[in-house]
A and B are shown apart, each in its own frame.
Chain A
Amino acid sequence: MASKRERGLHELYADDPERADALVFGRRTGDSRRGFLKNAGLAGMGAAVGGSIPFAAMMPAGLVPAAMAQPAQQPQAGPAADKGPKVLKMDGKAELAVLGDKPLVAETPAHLLDDDVTPTDKFFVRNNGLTPDPASMPSDPKAWKIKIDGEVNSPMEITLGDLMARFPNVTHTLMLECGGNGRSFFVPEARGNQWTNGGAGCAEWTGVRLADVLKAAGLKSSAVYTGHYGADPHLSGDATKPSISRGVRLEKAMDEHTLIAFRMNGKDIPLIHGAPVRLVVPGWAGSTSAKWLNRIWVRDKEHDGPGMGGFSYRMTRKPIVPGSKGDEKDTVILESMPVRSVVTFPAHGTRLAAGTRKIDLRGHAWAGDNAVQSVEVSIDFGVTWKKAEVKAPVNKFAWQRFTASIDLPSAGYYEIWSKATDTKGVTQPFQAGNWNPQGYGGNPISRVAVLVEA
């Protein structure tokens, strides 16, 4: 019964949100562009979200309450797709939300991003091809080979063991984020996996600097770009096709935080995260951080492997009409990821005990190549904002903790919104903007719904 009513509401909101407001809740859009709820409508919406809405007067018209727009953050078990996100059931992994099983793609619900350093089991998974069969790997991982070729004076094929012994080993806490993180916020839908904010994690990575290895190979003056290859087979099983091969400008490859990594959170990298060795290119689209790394091809031009052309990992140069086809030629490569914040406590869908009038919330914010300058939070649909405390990152390219104590004036339904601003002064928009066919750069303010019991 309840689920039928919910689905009806969703459909109505999808068809015409303002009409849905009017029909279901008697909410009309006023001159201020914020809806106001009539008495009966207020009760109706309150019933739908599970409580009264103290800031109803400020709620924008046609805004689907977050409680209805997003599933509660405990993904449901059971058959795929029909009942909300499927839960990942896998050795060594937490219950992530599965977006697709082939290729395997699973995101971390926001409340599981609460640790200062993302534990390996909670780290998101984004494959482009098939996970390599462990049986196809050398029995001694130190015998794993990586080829460095192209625009270098001394092309080399180096074993992981030699790599570890020959170059300084460094450890950093680094942000990895899928290029499509936030795609689900685009309206209308953009092509690809429909990530919320969970295609991101900040783990501690140990490895050697890619820069040291490239210097040892001797970069030619013609070297401008890298091309990365991993051992994961293409989904079709065709061994002649790479699953994906992306790269970065040489400047990013030479950044001291770009690593050829062999340990994640102090332990060997698990198979699903790229064992025994992978790239970690922090702050840029995760697809540049090739897992199961076996070759770096130094190029004399922008790399042209699969995943570098068309609309893949590209933003439109000029704003285009959302939902239109766009022009591939008028695009630029997505490099640094945009500023983003997530509230990691309380969890979306939390019920707070009656009488709760205050909550200490926390979250993480990050901004690709930049740092986060400030985070603001709101519980009245963005009418007023409060500055959160923001910690400095433990090192460059690590995310930053924010905390805030907020007052909840009464019982009822609240949405906690968070908005980060980076060191360039760029802030998160209210809605995902700059629509592009494959949906990159979707970073609207984050929303978490809580209910203070009456």
Chain B
Amino acid sequence: MKPVTAITVSILALVVTLALDRAGVLRQPAVPVAVTPTPAPAPSAAAAPAPSARGGTLAKGAIPRSLPPDAHHQDTIDSLPPGKGRDETFYLCAACHGTALIKQQGLSRELWEASFQLMIDRHGMAKPDDADRALIVDYLSENFPPRRKGRSGDNPFLK
């Protein structure tokens, strides 16, 4: 396997930090994380302020004591199909968003390249070096190419 580059290492560190943070390891858990109907306060949250002391709403009680699924979202590398560049892709992309967003797409290499640039321009993603960028865009293009075709198959004006 390709040696892990510095950027990947730093992103990995960020992912781990964020994961720990989201898991509540780096701070006192403020609310129970389980999404269950009317959750009982978790024993581990006993030291934190009582749930009723926070949030509050116009009529009291409409802001739930449980967080929506994005708060404890966890993807693993296995959620992406195997292939050259999978690990790099996972660490770069899943640092921010779930792999479900990637897997929904079906884009040409040109549009994957444009999507990559969008993440840098629009979302301030760290710019990896050219080799990693090519590796990741290749992985995305190979694994998530356009799948839908119209009645007449390929568009005659493309390529």
A99 touches B149 (CB 8 A): no
Chain A nearest CB, measured from B107 CB (Å): 6
- Determine if B100 is an interface residue (Cβ-Cβ < 8 Å): yes
B69 touches A187 (CB 8 A): no
Give Cα distance in the complex from A431 to B123, angstroms: 32
A104 touches B68 (CB 8 A): yes
- Determine if A91 is an interface residue (Cβ-Cβ < 8 Å): yes
Chain B nearest CB, measured from A188 CB (Å): 4
Chain B: interface residue total (CB-CB under 8 A): 60
Give Cα distance in the complex from A390 to B122, angstroms: 42
Q: Which residues on A sit within 8 Å (CB–CB) of B47? A: none
Chain B nearest CB, measured from A347 CB (Å): 23
Instruction: Say yes or no: A276-B70 contact (C-beta < 8 A), given A102-B97, A189-B146.
Output: no
- Determine if B131 is an interface residue (Cβ-Cβ < 8 Å): no
Q: Which residue of B21, B79, B98, B114 contacts A100 across the interface (Cβ within 8 Å)?
A: B98
Could you tell me which residues of chain B, from 117 to 159, have a CB within 8 Å of some CB in chain A?
118, 121-124, 146-153, 155, 157-158
- Determine if A14 is an interface residue (Cβ-Cβ < 8 Å): yes
A135 touches B68 (CB 8 A): no
Give Cα distance in the complex from A442 to B152, angstroms: 19
Chain A interface residues toward B at CB < 8 A: 14-18, 60-63, 80-81, 86, 88-92, 98-104, 127, 130-131, 133-135, 137-142, 186-189, 191-194, 234-238, 241, 262-263, 267-272, 275-276, 306-307, 309-312, 321-325, 431, 437
Instruction: Say yes or no: A268-B124 contact (C-beta < 8 A), given A91-B37, A127-B70.
Output: no
Give Cα distance in the complex from A142 to B67, angstroms: 21
Contacts A/B (CB < 8 Å), 7 sampled: A14-B149, A103-B70, A134-B54, A191-B114, A192-B105, A238-B124, A275-B57
Q: Which residue of A91, A135, A323 contacts B155 across the interface (Cβ within 8 Å)?
A: A323
Chain B nearest CB, measured from A166 CB (Å): 16
Give Cα distance in the complex from A130 to B79, angstroms: 21
Chain B nearest CB, measured from A396 CB (Å): 27
Give Cα distance in the complex from A86 to B149, angstroms: 25
B100 touches A131 (CB 8 A): no
Give Cα distance in the complex from A133 to B48, angstroms: 15
Give Cα distance in the complex from A275 to B56, angstroms: 10
A102 touches B73 (CB 8 A): yes
B149 touches A16 (CB 8 A): yes
Q: Which residues on B sit within 8 Å (CB–CB) of A275? A: 57, 62-63
Chain A nearest CB, measured from B74 CB (Å): 9
Q: Which residue of A88, A135, A241, A437 contacts B124 across the interface (Cβ within 8 Å)?
A: A241
A134 touches B65 (CB 8 A): yes
What residue in chain A is nearest B29 (Cβ atoms)?
A135
Known: A17-B153, A80-B79, A135-B54. 6 other contacts (CB 8 A): A99-B104, A101-B70, A102-B97, A135-B31, A194-B104, A309-B121
Q: Which residues on B sit within 8 Å (CB–CB) of A139? A: 53-56
- Determine if B41 is an interface residue (Cβ-Cβ < 8 Å): no
Q: Which residues on A sit within 8 Å (CB–CB) of B69? A: 88-90, 98, 101-102, 104
Q: Per DSSP, are chain A's interface residues mostly helix, strand or loop, or mixed? A: loop
Q: Which residue of A18, A86, A91, A99 contacts B66 across the interface (Cβ within 8 Å)?
A: A91
B106 touches A91 (CB 8 A): no
Give Cα distance in the complex from A260 to B55, angstroms: 20
Chain A nearest CB, measured from B117 CB (Å): 9
A81 touches B149 (CB 8 A): no
A18 touches B151 (CB 8 A): yes
Chain B nearest CB, measured from A227 CB (Å): 16
Give Cα distance in the complex from A194 to B56, angstroms: 35
Instruction: Say yes or no: A15-B57 contact (C-beta < 8 A), given A91-B35, A103-B97, A309-B122.
Output: no
Give Cα distance in the complex from A103 to B123, angstroms: 13
B68 touches A272 (CB 8 A): yes
Q: Most chain-A Cβ atoms within 10 A of its Cβ — which of B37, B75, B79, B111?
A: B111
Q: Which residues on A sit within 8 Å (CB–CB) of B65? A: 134
Chain B nearest CB, measured from A87 CB (Å): 11
Instruction: Say yes or no: A312-B122 contact (C-beta < 8 A), given A15-B149, A16-B149, A17-B151.
Output: yes
Could you tell me which residues of chain B, from 44 to 61, have a CB within 8 Å of some CB in chain A?
53-59
Q: Which residues on B sit within 8 Å (CB–CB) of A193? A: 101, 104
A100 touches B101 (CB 8 A): yes
B101 touches A268 (CB 8 A): no
A271 touches B100 (CB 8 A): no
